[in-house]
Amino acid sequence: MRTKAVVAAMAVILVFYAVLLGAKGVAFIGSGEPVAMLLGVALIVLPLLGLALVWREIVFGRRSAELAAALEAEDGLPVDDLPRRPSGRVDRSAADEAFGVRQAEVEASPESWQAWYRLALAYDDAGDRTRARSAARRAIELYDARDRAS
């Protein structure tokens, strides 16, 4: 619940910031000066781009949480019993070993959203956030395709 409150507060602050910059952008555009007008357009477009990217991340987080809940309901979430370093991070060699199991699971069932989601968790444990997000996106695609098919 705390994470949701922090994300909501950050989103409100970002919207406030975007509105302020947008107002300045409109004022610059209204000046009639070519350079000021160009700056005004940038002051409108860049915050909108930022809002779109933040919205995309919020949707990704919500969808990932939805898949985690569905997998938990199936009793399919892997047990988080990997050894950890004093910092709290998962021991790399143990994460690599668990990753091999998850990779084989995806190779055996490439259309299983559950396998892809567990692979995303294994990538995350191994510290590879880019591949974790990619695997989670694939899991979301498969989950959505399953819903459309039924």
Report pLDDT for 28.
Answer: 95
Residues 137, 123: contact at Cβ < 8 Å? no
* Helices marked H in the chain: 2-30, 34-73, 92-108, 113-125, 129-149
Query: What are the tokens at 74?
Result: 């199936």
pLDDT in tens, 56-113: 999 999 999 999 999 999 988 887 777 788 877 777 777 777 788 899 999 999 999 9
DSSP state of 88: S
Write down the domain spans for the chain.
2-66, 92-149
Q: Give the three-state DSSP class for 112.
A: coil
pLDDT in tens, 106-148: 999 999 999 999 999 988 888 888 999 999 999 999 999 887 7
Say which residues have a Cβ less than 8 Å from residue 131's Cβ, sequence separation at least 6.
123
Burial 65-99 (b: 16+ CB within 10 A, else e): eebbeebeeeeebeeeebeeeeeeebeeeebeebb
| Domain 92-149 CATH assignment equals 1.25.40.10 | yes
